[in-house]
């Protein structure tokens, strides 16, 4: 850190902002995969 007086939040040694960006990208990828599977099985009903 450049400034020792500044608070630096980290998760697993990674900057908290970068960690949230990474998790958001992972979530977007999962949503794309799940939406593809849902549209594939669209005709299935009760």
Q: What is the pLDDT along the chain (46 residues), one digit of tens a residue?
A: 577 888 888 888 889 999 999 999 999 988 887 666 655 556 555 5
Give the residue carrying structure tokens 């900057």: 15
Give the separation between CA 22 and CA 11, rounded to whole angstroms. Answer: 12
28 falls within a domain: yes
27 falls within a domain: yes
19 falls within a domain: yes
Which residue range(s) make up the domain with 16? Answer: 10-40
3 state SS of 6? coil
Cβ-in-10-Å burial (0-12, 13-18, 19+) of 29 comes to exposed
Model pLDDT, residue 43: 59
């Amino acid at each position: 850190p450049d400034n020792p007086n500044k608070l630096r939040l980290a998760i697993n040694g990674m900057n908290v902002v970068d960690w949230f960006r990474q998790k958001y990208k992972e979530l977007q990828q999962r949503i794309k995969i799940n939406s593809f599977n849902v549209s594939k099985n669209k005709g299935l009903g009760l």
